[in-house]
Chains A and B, each alone.
Chain A
Amino acid sequence: MNDIFEGLVAAALLVVTLDADLVDITLRSLQVTMTALVVASAIAIPLGTWLAIRRFRYRRVVIAVMNALMGLPPVVVGLIVYILLSRAGPFGVLGLLFTPTAMIIAQVIIITPLIASITHQAMRDLWAEYHDLLISLNTNRRQRIAALVWDGRRTLLTASLAGFGRAIGEVGAIMIVGGNIENATRVLTTAIALETGKGDFALALGLGFVLIALALVVNLSIHWLSRTEREGRW
């Protein structure tokens, strides 16, 4: 219990003094995760929606694979991305290993199935509701996806936030592909792992509280932004 109190004190100190290292790794955490989130959402939302409205032969297989990928351990993703990006691997010449880009790639792989799966479930329900109307109105596939995505945007926001939560708190994969290099690829979670390894629980917890606060701020501000629309909810 004492450790938790010390952690809170450490967090408060870090924040109040605007510790330069803390600001640096916090901004990097945000940059990596936000970029990954945008890329993953751009892939996952159309994919999930498409899977909800399209009937094709291997649809169930694709959905099962997607759901299984959701449970993929980040460490495994990290290892695979490491092997691909390693100088000895197929994409080695790009020199991406141990860069924030590598961390973004790993996070995209980790959260895309999650966002796509939640999107698919939400869009399946909305499609069941809209199906007759949109068919009757003679919409083409693109128009259907657009209508579902637009009208389901609140649920999709929730899906994206779930992805954000998983990405911002992820450590296994980005530790491997980022390398936790100070001033280059160190982010909040890898810093926490490092401090825990050193037995400095207070600082580790302090960083943990900063991470929680960051996740809260992002969640609240996105909800607040979406609420400033004309009406509270549909």
Chain B
Amino acid sequence: MIRVVLAVLALGLSGWMALAEDFKLAVTTSFHNSGLSDVLLPAIAEDTGLNVQLLVVGTGQALKLGEAGDVDAILVHSRAAEEAFLEAGHGTHRRGIMYNDFVIIGPASDPADVSKAETAAAALMAISTAQVPFVSRGDDSGTHKKELSLWAAAGLDPAALGGWYRPVGAGMGASLNTAAGMNAYILSDRASWLNFGNTADLTLVYAGDPVLFNQYAYLPVHPDKNAAIKHEAALRLEAWLVSDRAKALINEYKVGGETLFVFNAK
């Protein structure tokens, strides 16, 4: 009797698992805040049978989760960190999926005249000259790393900036909240900004410099780490992410009438 129950149970369980296999994907806050995942996940479940469970963390923590083998794949946007991750053997390979862009958000009055800047570096230079408050993620995330590279391009050292430079050590949403509260400038990805509810007096003051493009890449975690890593599923998900269905969904995703992401998988 017990054997029969167990067999039925096992059958039911395996059937259910075939129906929806749990898959853990670490993604960055900015990707999740864009709302794109709400569109993609149901389609993924439908086409691949994968129940993708998102762990929404900063890029640093996402890489750490991959390194520990606690997730099956990661979707992040920080080229240098991704390459280091691969070099250390934590991932099998890197696949570019899509990009969005970073934008500079600031007070509607734009006291530093950032909107007149020619390049992103010039925009930051203008903020530094005007000594107006600037909120930095300060959390080693992809966005933070991008911001640091922009300061470097402007020939400035963030550590030596004055009290108006405020690293908050928080996620994109929390940092935007802080910037809204202080009426400060901040670097954000476009998706997070468009989906952000509490804009207060802030507005988009600068965008368009190609250096601000933000490439998202998908990295399956190396299956050698532990037996629980679903590498085959990771490959299945990758195949879907570069498919025509994904392309259409990504390119057509709009918030407030604006396109957020550009599909560029090869």
Q: Return A208 CB to nearest CB of chain B, in Å.
A: 15
The residue that A196 contacts in the complex, of B55, B173, B226, with Cβ under 8 A, is: B173
Asked if B54 is at the interface of the complex by the 8 Å CB criterion, the answer is yes
Q: How far is the CA of A202 from the CA of B199 in the complex (A)?
A: 13
Residue of B55, B70, B171 ringed by the most chain A CB atoms within 10 A: B70
B68 near A181: Cβ-Cβ < 8 Å: no
Residue of A nearest to B197 (CB): A199
A198 near B173: Cβ-Cβ < 8 Å: yes
The residue that A200 contacts in the complex, of B22, B53, B197, with Cβ under 8 A, is: B197
Q: Return A210 CB to nearest CB of chain B, in Å.
A: 19
B171 near A181: Cβ-Cβ < 8 Å: no
A199 near B54: Cβ-Cβ < 8 Å: no
Asked if A86 is at the interface of the complex by the 8 Å CB criterion, the answer is yes
Asked if B196 is at the interface of the complex by the 8 Å CB criterion, the answer is yes
Q: How far is the CA of A92 from the CA of B228 in the complex (A)?
A: 10
Asked if B190 is at the interface of the complex by the 8 Å CB criterion, the answer is no
Q: Return A13 CB to nearest CB of chain B, in Å.
A: 16
Q: Return A90 CB to nearest CB of chain B, in Å.
A: 12
Q: How far is the CA of A164 from the CA of B54 in the complex (A)?
A: 28
Q: How far is the CA of A152 from the CA of B173 in the complex (A)?
A: 47
Asked if A180 is at the interface of the complex by the 8 Å CB criterion, the answer is yes
**Given A95-B228, A182-B54, A87:B68 Cβ within 8 A:** yes
Q: How far is the CA of A196 from the CA of B199 in the complex (A)?
A: 13
Binary flags per residue of A172-200, CB closer than 8 Å to B gives 1, else 0: 00000001111010000000001011111
The residue that B55 contacts in the complex, of A98, A197, A198, with Cβ under 8 A, is: A98
Q: Return A73 CB to nearest CB of chain B, in Å.
A: 15
Asked if B212 is at the interface of the complex by the 8 Å CB criterion, the answer is no
B225 near A87: Cβ-Cβ < 8 Å: yes
Asked if B214 is at the interface of the complex by the 8 Å CB criterion, the answer is no
Q: Return B55 CB to nearest CB of chain A, in Å.
A: 4
B68 near A198: Cβ-Cβ < 8 Å: no
B24 near A98: Cβ-Cβ < 8 Å: yes
Residue of B nearest to A181 (CB): B53
Q: Return B169 CB to nearest CB of chain A, in Å.
A: 12
- The interface on chain A, measured as residues whose beta carbon lies within 8 A of the other chain's beta carbons, has a size of 22
Contacts of B229 in A (CB 8 A): 87
The residue that B68 contacts in the complex, of A86, A184, A197, with Cβ under 8 A, is: A86
Q: How far is the CA of A202 from the CA of B54 in the complex (A)?
A: 24
Q: Return B71 CB to nearest CB of chain A, in Å.
A: 8
Q: Return B36 CB to nearest CB of chain A, in Å.
A: 13
Contacts of B33 in A (CB 8 A): 197-198
Contacts of B91 in A (CB 8 A): none
B55 near A87: Cβ-Cβ < 8 Å: no
Residue of B67, B180, B197, B199 ringed by the most chain A CB atoms within 10 A: B197
Residue of B nearest to A86 (CB): B68
**Given A87-B70, A87-B226, A98-B24, A196:B177 Cβ within 8 A:** yes
A197 near B171: Cβ-Cβ < 8 Å: yes
Q: Which of A64-79 contact B (CB under 8 A)?
A: none
Asked if B260 is at the interface of the complex by the 8 Å CB criterion, the answer is no
Q: Return B176 CB to nearest CB of chain A, in Å.
A: 6
Q: How far is the CA of A107 from the CA of B68 in the complex (A)?
A: 23
A198 near B70: Cβ-Cβ < 8 Å: no
B69 near A179: Cβ-Cβ < 8 Å: no
Q: Which of B22-37 contact A (CB under 8 A)?
A: 22, 24, 29, 33
B53 near A184: Cβ-Cβ < 8 Å: yes
Q: How far is the CA of A90 from the CA of B195 in the complex (A)?
A: 40
Q: How far is the CA of A97 from the CA of B69 in the complex (A)?
A: 11
Contacts A87-B68, A87-B229 aside, 9 further interface pairs with beta carbons under 8 A come to: A86-B69, A86-B70, A87-B225, A98-B70, A181-B55, A197-B171, A200-B197, A200-B198, A201-B197
List 18 interface pairs A-B (beta carbons < 8 Å), by A numbering.
Answer: A87-B70, A88-B67, A88-B68, A92-B69, A92-B226, A93-B226, A180-B56, A184-B22, A196-B173, A196-B174, A197-B29, A197-B171, A198-B33, A198-B173, A199-B176, A199-B177, A199-B197, A201-B198
Residues of B within 8 A of A (CB): 22, 24, 29, 33, 53-56, 67-70, 171-174, 176-177, 180, 195-199, 225-226, 228-229
Top 10 closest pairs, chain A to chain B, by CB:
A197-B173, A199-B198, A199-B197, A87-B69, A88-B68, A199-B196, A181-B53, A179-B55, A86-B68, A200-B197
